[in-house]
Amino acid sequence: MDADGSGTVDFKEFAMVILHQKNSKKGKVSYAELAEKMFRIFDQDGSGVVQQDEIVQQISKLGKNWDSAGILYFLQQIDKDGSGEIEKHEFVDYITKIEAEMSLT
């Protein structure tokens, strides 16, 4: 997963692996649909927004222990309105941006 060799896996690297696996198993994948499914994994309380503690909890279940700085960086990349929370539309927009970047490579 560590595409850039940094010794850590950032969210973009994680998402690209997930997207690639889904694509290779089922043919064409809807990135927006996959983003919504991924969002539901993080949004455990069903509030429609993802807070830092929900992200920490879900990432730790995946076996990845990110530090607080890594999580804050992740939130800043996706949280376009600066609310401190990630709304579903922000998450879907981020994943579709990754899709666009992948199609350029």
CATH of the domain at 51: 1.10.238.10
Note down the domain range covering 46: 29-104
Q: What is the pLDDT of residues 16-72, one digit of tens each?
A: 666 666 555 555 667 788 888 888 888 888 889 988 777 777 776 766 666 667 777
Q: Looking at the domain assignment, is residue 24 inside a domain?
A: no
pTM: predicted TM-score of the whole model, two decimal places: 0.64
Q: Looking at the domain assignment, is residue 60 inside a domain?
A: yes
Domains identified in the chain, total number: 1
Q: What is the pLDDT of residues 56-80, one digit of tens each?
A: 777 767 666 666 677 777 778 888 8
CA 55/CA 23 separation, integer angstroms = 24
CA 94/CA 73 separation, integer angstroms = 14
For residue 35, give Cα distances in angstroms to 4, 5, 6, 77, 91.
23, 25, 25, 15, 7
